[in-house]
Amino acid sequence: MAASTAAGKQRIPKVAKVKNKAPAEVQITAEQLLREAKERELELLPPPPQQKITDEEELNDYKLRKRKTFEDNIRKNRTVISNWIKYAQWEESLKEIQRARSIYERALDVDYRNITLWLKYAEMEMKNRQVNHARNIWDRAITTLPRVNQFWYKYTYMEEMLGNIAGARQVFERWMEWQPEEQAWHSYINFELRYKEVDRARTIYERFVLVHPDVKNWIKYARFEEKHGYFAHARKVYERAVEFFGDEHMDEHLYVAFAKFEENQKEFERVRVIYKYALDRISKQEAQELFKNYTIFEKKFGDRRGIEDIIVSKRRFQYEEEVKANPHNYDAWFDYLRLVESDAEAETVREVYERAIANVPPIQEKRHWKRYIYLWVNYALYEELEAKFTFAKMWLLYAQFEIRQKNLPFARRALGTSIGKCPKNKLFKGYIELELQLREFDRCRKLYEKFLEFGPENCTSWIKFAELETILGDIERARAIYELAISQPRLDMPEVLWKSYIDFEIEQEETERTRNLYRRLLQRTQHVKVWISFAQFELSSGKEGSLAKCRQIYEEANKTMRNCEEKEERLMLLESWRSFEDEFGTASDKERVDKLMPEKVKKRRKVQTDDGSDAGWEEYYDYIFPEDAANQPNLKLLAMAKLWKKQQQEKEVAEQDPDKDVDENES
């Protein structure tokens, strides 16, 4: 008992404490431990023994073990897609395509957003020549993940390589409905150009510039037209781009490209107009490239006057920046006005004066008002001595002042005096507007009569006068005004006047009068738009026999325009006629119009400069109409050429596959 107690009281030895806790001189890092383990190859496993399969039973056993291994890996972590792909590729290597498909489908159930999985699946089908299966997979992929561009690219490429051009085009159209990035549109355009489908490419460009309305895309569209020889179309594209962006979003690159296009077409006056238009509206900081190109152009093709215009434009920009920075810097305004008075037109000078006098001094100090008053003095002197003009605006402001003072007779007297001294369109319009507000319609009639005596060529005045009578319910008087207007020997906008007259009769439901108006207009001009409008009127009349009358007008127009030199206008008429027959005509009517459509051929012509020297040859497109007797030999030649080409192709096919011919002969 005592012995055991003594043993229990025996002390357990304590762990020795580390007295020196300073770091060792040689430190061992985890990287060193790993490196030493690698060098000593402590964890290197021996390679598995090579196994030779001698019979089918061993092969099946090997497949069973491998599949079990793959399935175990998948069961451990279903989200690791690489395990699924390795499993499917192993099955594919054994030509077990159906099993590989099953694996890919199971993997898609786990993660259908994995792009690599779809790509590997489709590549397997294409590699094994399973085209329909591959199409099915691509359709599912682009339906599930339509924003993955790689699927669309590979799908269209596969269809194109298979020669299924229509199918590839259909895939591209489905893609464009999603409004993808710019490169996708370019791929579609290049696809059409590879097969010489220029018209289709133009249609795609039309949609492209609306989906991605950047300046660079409009420029690419115009250059596409220029590259294929459609110079008129290219010019229209540039003009539409300028109108599309307007003055709020002007970009110098667009105008530089437009000017260079016109320069290539030798339209030097157009180039100057474009540069000047842009320089007047774009700030100096944003127009450095514009100035540079304009200067180079004038040095190449301009004269001394053109170079001086560039210098003046630069100085105008400097003054614009100064007055924008400080609108009350009247000295800058004086310098600016002296510059524009020496070089610009009267309207431009007036505009600058109006802007200058709008900046009234903010405080009542003589030193500020002294400079400001001289702006008015100089403005009045300019109008009196240079422009020889009496302010219409001043007369109108004076009349409005008298009206505010409730002195209507004085206002009328002032406006009557102004019309007697300096009759201007603005004064007549202001006086008529005043009387309209007062509902003095008899006075308005008298003023319109005086206005038209002063300017009988002004179509807008005639139209406004007739509209006034229409509003007042005097239809016969309005019709008489229109008749008097169209009988004038000189008009500034006759097409607008005739259209207004025709619209007036249509509103009055006077079908026969409208028809007679069209006939009278066609006696003066045979423009294609008049014929098309006439036909559309007959179609929209809704009366019995309207289709026959519309068709009769198209036939009459086609006969009349056979001698027309503008073949594009004649083509426009036939296209309108064909659209009508497509909607309302029978099969024979459509076939008849199709036979009238021209053949589009490429020709060459010699180009001469202004001095009469030769400038080479240029290509252009011409239209050969079947109805023209003079063109019958050309059409026969074209038909013979097409027949010869077809025979050559059949001959080449026969030479490439002679065995097929032998087999057919033996059979």
DSSP secondary structure letters along 114-152:
-HHHHHHHHHHHHHTT-HHHHHHHHHHHHHH-TT-HHHH
Coarse DSSP helix, strand, coil percentages of the chain, rounded to the nearest 5 percent: 75, 5, 25
Rounded distance between C-alpha atoms, residue 563 and residue 598, angstroms:
15
Single pTM value for the model: 0.44
Q: What are the sequence ranges of the domains in the chain?
A: 74-308, 309-387, 602-635
Maximum Cα–Cα distance across the chain: 150
Q: pLDDT tens for residues 51-87?
A: 787 788 888 888 898 899 899 888 888 888 899 999 9
pLDDT of residue 588: 83
pLDDT of residue 344: 64
Q: pLDDT tens for residues 144-181?
A: 999 999 999 999 999 999 999 999 999 999 999 999 99
Nearest alpha-carbon partner for 135 in 107, 113, 164: 164
Tokens for 323? 């007055």
Rounded distance between C-alpha atoms, residue 239 and residue 475, angstroms:
41
- Count of C-beta atoms within a 10 Å radius of residue 123: 14
pLDDT of residue 664: 44
pLDDT of residue 172: 94
Rounded distance between C-alpha atoms, residue 516 and residue 518, angstroms:
5
Question: Which helix or strand (DSSP H or E) is residue 619 part of?
Answer: strand 614-624
- Helix 408-421 × helix 425-437 angle, to 10°: 160
Residues 339 and 312: beta-carbon distance below 8 Å: yes
pLDDT of residue 593: 79
What does the chain come to in residues?
667
DSSP secondary structure letters along 517-575:
HHHHHHHH---HHHHHHHHHHHHHT--TTHHHHHHHHHHHHHHHGGG-S-HHHHHHHHH
Nearest alpha-carbon partner for 152 in 134, 135, 132, 171: 171
Give bridge partners of residue 414 from the DSSP assignment: none
* Sole residue written with tokens 């003023």: 447
Tokens for 627? 């109805």
pLDDT of residue 241: 92
pLDDT of residue 3: 44
Dihedral sign, Cα of residue 634, residue 639, residue 640, residue 641? positive
Nearest alpha-carbon partner for 165 in 140, 142, 197, 211: 197
CATH architecture of 74-308: Alpha Horseshoe (1.25)
**What are the φ/ψ torsions at residue 212 (nearest 5 degrees)?**
-120, 80
DSSP secondary structure letters along 353-377:
HHHHHT---SS--HHHHHHHHHHHH
Beta-strand pair 614-624/599-608? antiparallel
- Count of C-beta atoms within a 10 Å radius of residue 666: 6
Residues 598 and 624: beta-carbon distance below 8 Å: yes
Residues 323 and 333: beta-carbon distance below 8 Å: yes
pLDDT of residue 121: 93
Residues of the chain with pLDDT below 50 are 1-8, 660-667
Rounded distance between C-alpha atoms, residue 261 and residue 267, angstroms:
9
Rounded distance between C-alpha atoms, residue 475 and residue 338, angstroms:
54
Distance of CA 173 to the CA centre of its chain: 18
Question: What 3-state DSSP class applies to 192?
Answer: helix
Nearest alpha-carbon partner for 627 in 567, 552, 572: 567
